[in-house]
Structure 1
């Protein structure tokens, strides 16, 4: 279930990531949209498959629609040709997902971390990362401006797999996201390329009911992810790496080992031997590429797994702690509280509520 609430400014509160991912038929998402936009919103169609689901919502007529599709457990797509019937404010809660936004028409603004971002230029592309339990982010959709956009949500693992060994060429914060070391809020605007624009149009203009629609949307989603990963820019100085291409590949190999063994990772000396580089170069190269130490990365991955197990399973908390390498539940609770601002029990209660 999605829990929604209105704050004193009458802003709808809902998760920042794909809020309906726990619902096979997206009924929760439909209720959120109806709450936000009133009785004029109707469910035009709803489909559910073993590994995907789609809901199309219409306001007044079929041409005024918003569609949300679960392409896999790790990727969601929203396509919008939608005119908000009233100024709509959405307060989103961090879920550790990455949102890629491709807008070709309309206006929307967001306020987070003390800054407001928005662009009067209808064409824009951006990457937005909202860590778990961070400050709320407010989104404002303006009345009377048709919102023509495609948005993708994906997990950090999908983004990491996408960029692979090319992570070193990304902006610093993007490398942190890909590596699993969560920065704070991160917003990265970039140029809307002709390829992005064409792909967004193809998604918005595609016939809604075809037997291969989900496969079609998957191909367009990956095309957009490739385009924005290739295009993303930064105002920061380019990365000046002292690593050779060979050493950078070894650091990436070490990273992949840690992804698979983060609960009981090999020590620095053994890890260096496994990838064929000296321990100093490995430690320095790791921080240069990912902006964190090996220990910091492993701890972040443990906390990610802790959040998943606490929020989506019923395993006893002590079992979760032991499975993540904590001998004492008290130490585990302290670590979780420090990372998320909630105890394991509070996370579980909130997820069940």
Structure 2
């Protein structure tokens, strides 16, 4: 990755701070309004970075010298990331998460528009992650050899939003007790909880029956269908239209979509609409009626009812 395309930032020294202490910092880049928090606990660490303002398309990069396995969560906004040899300028929006390993490589981040972003990263050493997988997540055993041999990989969470439990865990992350020993225990516990919740999101909810395994070509068409739905939430296509767009018959589309994404096409559209509405309400750029109509809800009462059923509060109550 060419250093001339981005501001280079050194983060390696941050791993030298005392364990259990929360280190707050400002991003050392000109023209950027951003800050972060960092805490280290033995062979694990948390880095929570936020950029609220900066010039469009501003980018910066750093070298991942430490061989950590990362859990990444985009808590707000969006950004483009490039991980040398692994991910090429991919847009990550609020609600995105992954499990990533790309040691001794360059990472580049780029602002998109004026939204800014907040991204939280969990860093776990190779030895610690191998122990966690062996003891608690044997379904991820295929990653152990890659971690041992430092072979890069990334696993994207299958749904583009956080589960209620994951949102709650992220929201409570920095609510730590004052005594240093308990504070360190708090952060270690939070890291393990996020590891558990991320594994839960990455692993299939059930073992497919014989004959249910999806072909690679069908998976690609289903991913295409999912992306098309995300881009047309306000006016989603019918099942017939979507089957023609992605090149699958309706039976394969419905069955494969549920198998790959653990929900029906209809449920996916409904969930994504409501999640998009929640994000727009929190951003505050439009009133609730405009948001509802913009996402395809023709009757406000239907929108209010569906919103409260999913989030446990009304759209207006979200701001209180």
TM-score of the aligned structures, taking structure 1 as reference length = 0.47
2:41 to 63, 67, 71: 71
Partners of 1:138 and 1:58 in 2: how far apart? 18
Partners of 2:149 and 2:114 in 1: how far apart? 40
Give the direction of change, closer, same or farther, for the CA distance of 1:139–1:114 in structure 2 (3 Å limit): same
SS in 1 for 2:173: helix
Is residue 99 of structure 2 the alignment partner of residue 130 of structure 1? Answer: no
TM-score of the aligned structures, taking structure 2 as reference length = 0.51
1:217 to 187, 190, 195: 187
1:110 to 78, 81, 95: 81
Give the direction of change, closer, same or farther, for the CA distance of 1:146–1:171 in structure 2 (3 Å limit): farther
Partners of 2:90 and 2:185 in 1: how far apart? 32
Is residue 58 of structure 2 the alignment partner of residue 91 of structure 1? Answer: no
Task: Report if aligned partners of 1:156, 1:177 keep a CA contact under 8 Å in 2.
Answer: no
1:169 to 129, 139, 146: 139
Give the direction of change, closer, same or farther, for the CA distance of 1:215–1:154 in structure 2 (3 Å limit): same
Query: Hey, what does 1:30 align to over in structure 2?
Result: none
Query: Hey, what does 1:12 align to over in structure 2?
Result: 8
Query: Hey, what does 1:319 align to over in structure 2?
Result: none
Give the direction of change, closer, same or farther, for the CA distance of 1:7–1:77 in structure 2 (3 Å limit): same
Partners of 2:101 and 2:4 in 1: how far apart? 26
Task: Report if aligned partners of 2:68, 2:126 keep a CA contact under 8 Å in 1.
Answer: yes
Partners of 1:228 and 1:140 in 2: how far apart? 25
Query: Hey, what does 2:125 align to over in structure 1?
Result: 155
TM-aligned CA deviation for residue 11 of structure 1: 2.5
Q: Deviations over 1:253-305 (max 9, x none)?
A: xxxxxxxxxxxxxxxxxxxxxxxxxxxxxxxxxxxxxxxxxxxxxxxxxxxxx
Query: Hey, what does 2:153 align to over in structure 1?
Result: 186
SS in 1 for 2:190: helix
Partners of 1:144 and 1:220 in 2: how far apart? 31
Alignment size in residue pairs: 193
TM-aligned CA deviation for residue 52 of structure 1: 3.4
TM-aligned CA deviation for residue 109 of structure 1: 1.9
Partners of 2:163 and 2:8 in 1: how far apart? 33
Partners of 2:154 and 2:128 in 1: how far apart? 18
Query: Hey, what does 1:293 align to over in structure 2?
Result: none
TM-aligned CA deviation for residue 19 of structure 1: 4.7
SS in 2 for 1:203: coil
